[in-house]
Amino acid sequence: MDRTIWKIILQAIHQAQSQLPKPRRRPRYPDWLIVAMFLWSVWHHRPLFWACQRSHYGDLFRPRKIPSVSQFTRRIKTARCQQILQQVHDQLSQMGLAASISYLDGKPMLVSPVSKDKDARRGRVSGGFAKGYKLHVWATENGRIPLWGVTSLNTGECPVAQQLCLRMPQLANDSLVMADGNYDSKDLHNLIAWRNGRLLAPPKGMAQHPVTLRQMGAVRREALRVWRESESLAKLLMRQRIAVENIFSRICELSRLPSWARGLKRVTRWVGGVLILYHARLQAQKASVGQAA
């Protein structure tokens, strides 16, 4: 399985690099190698400098040339390498594939309460408050996470979800986007409707005043009508939202940030690598199931 996963990753990296314009000067270490080394370090839960030691490679992946630590850390931050990582994620997560049911949710990623990380913030979590970051995702019913973002833990979920919706591909007609009550907002209802979908989230309040109903817009009025007239159906549908929790549980690397992932840029880059590996595992599992059938 590991060989299949790594083959999927390398194929996606080479395909992503082929779609970029050629650089003016041919670098000593190609972009695909830098990206592959980065994902190799994420796969093994190690910091960047670990990938610059030849003894940490094996038969599965053994580069002929390895850059120095300073070269590697500088190159992985370049725009070309970031574009390759983004294209690899979009390809493996099947960004353009339609989904009839999808989910909006957030997952806290905690650091030590005495951490000196300047970007980490204190925010509310289950059972109280903690310090760290939050992963915001748009996930689909088949386990994919096409869109995501990382913010400090004190950032509200609804504003980030609105930013994700602006990047969301056009949904199939009558698609449902499920979320918890934090996402109940007229702007988010309108954005998802603009993408041909409907947001199903427990309402923050059952407004009845004519002025309030008029101000919230037609889409959110329709959602409120569903909760008033078919509350049992809405609650039944909301039970399916546990699927996004199952997705998070399959990505065990997100339970707690590693000690070297500090600062918003580093955390975002590390989470991106974790999600690429997750989608590669999904593809490998589907391929093995297809062969068994």
Structure confidence at residue 181 (pLDDT): 83
CATH 3.30.420 domain extents, the chain? 101-248
Task: Classify domain 101-248 at the CATH class level.
Answer: alpha beta
- 205 pLDDT more than 70: no
Mean pLDDT value across the chain: 88
User: What would the pLDDT profile of 13-42 be if each residue is shown by its tens digit?
Assistant: 999 999 999 888 888 999 999 999 999 999
Q: Quote the pLDDT of residue 108.
A: 92
pLDDT band with cut points at 50, 70 and 90 for residue 284: very high
Spatial separation of the C-alpha atoms in residues 278 and 281, rounded to whole Å: 5
**pLDDT over 60 at 212, yes or no:** no
Per-residue confidence at 152, pLDDT binned at 50, 70, 90? very high
Task: Return the higher-pLDDT residue of 267 and 171.
Answer: 267
* pLDDT 10s digits, 79-118: 999 999 999 999 999 887 777 889 999 999 999 888 899 9
Structure tokens at 193: 């409707």
Higher per-residue confidence, 137 vs 288: 137
Tell me which long-range contacts 285-291 makes (C-beta under 8 A, separation of at least 24): 287/4, 288/1, 288/4
Given a contact cutoff of 8 angstroms between Cβ atoms, the answer to whether 40 and 61 are in contact is: yes
Radius of gyration of the chain (CA): 21
Element (H, E) at 122: strand 121-125
Q: Are 11 and 276 in contact (CB under 8 A)?
A: no
Contacts of 128 (CB under 8 A, 6+ apart): none
What count of other Cβ atoms lies within 10 Å of the Cβ of residue 123?
A: 19
pLDDT range class, residue 289, cuts 50, 70, 90:
low
Write down the number of H helices and E strands in the chain.
11, 6
Query: Quick one: average pLDDT of 181-207?
Result: 85
